[in-house]
Structure 1
Amino acid sequence: MSQGLLTKPQMRGLLAKRLRFHVIGAFIFSLSVVALYKFGVAEPRKRAYANYYKNYDVVKEFEAMRDAGVFQGVRPKDE
């Protein structure tokens, strides 16, 4: 009959202890997701737009669209 007694479970402050753990974990997780998005999506996208507009010629693009008949109020160049 002299078996080891079971320890009593912690009842007081259990919710606060678990919430503290999960809030810190959620904060670290959200910061890591933000960092991954910034360096994995946003920065390459900004670099791609910068490279595109570095060599972009507005007049040439307008003339190509005008010759293709995209605009309704602009006549083609050869008319």
Structure 2
Amino acid sequence: MSFSALTKPQMRDVLARCLWIHIVGAFIVSLRVAALYKSGVVKPRKKAYVGFYRNYDSMKDLEEMRKAAVFQSAK
């Protein structure tokens, strides 16, 4: 009978190798999430602010707030 020798399991640096794989994976996932957040939240928010302030008249808004009696000291 012929017995094949079993390969010995690697006992050194197993934790370090697993941690390295997980760190690289977490870095890649975080980059993807940041890119999705930028394209899905930040850019539309900036576009909304630009659209709002394009036609915003602060004096008109102030007069509307005065008429609505929002301010106690200004009449």
Answer whether TM exceeds 0.5 for this pair.
Answer: yes
Gaps of 5+ in 2: none
Alignment RMSD (CA, Å): 1.5
User: Counterpart of 1:27?
Assistant: 27
Helix, strand or coil: the match of 1:10? coil
In structure 2, distance between residues paired with 1:67 and 1:3:
96
**Equivalent residue, structure 2, for 1:41:** 41
Deviates more, 1:6-15 or 1:18-27: 6-15
Superposition map of 1:1-79 within 5 A: 4-75=4-75
* 1:2-60 deviation line (CA, Å, top 9, x unaligned): 56554322111211211111111011011111111111101110110110011101111
- Bigger relative CO (Cα 8 Å, ≥ 6 apart): 1
Specify the SS of the correspondent of 2:56: coil
- 3-state SS of paired residue (1:12): coil
5+ long unaligned stretches in structure 1: none
Percent of aligned positions that are identical: 57
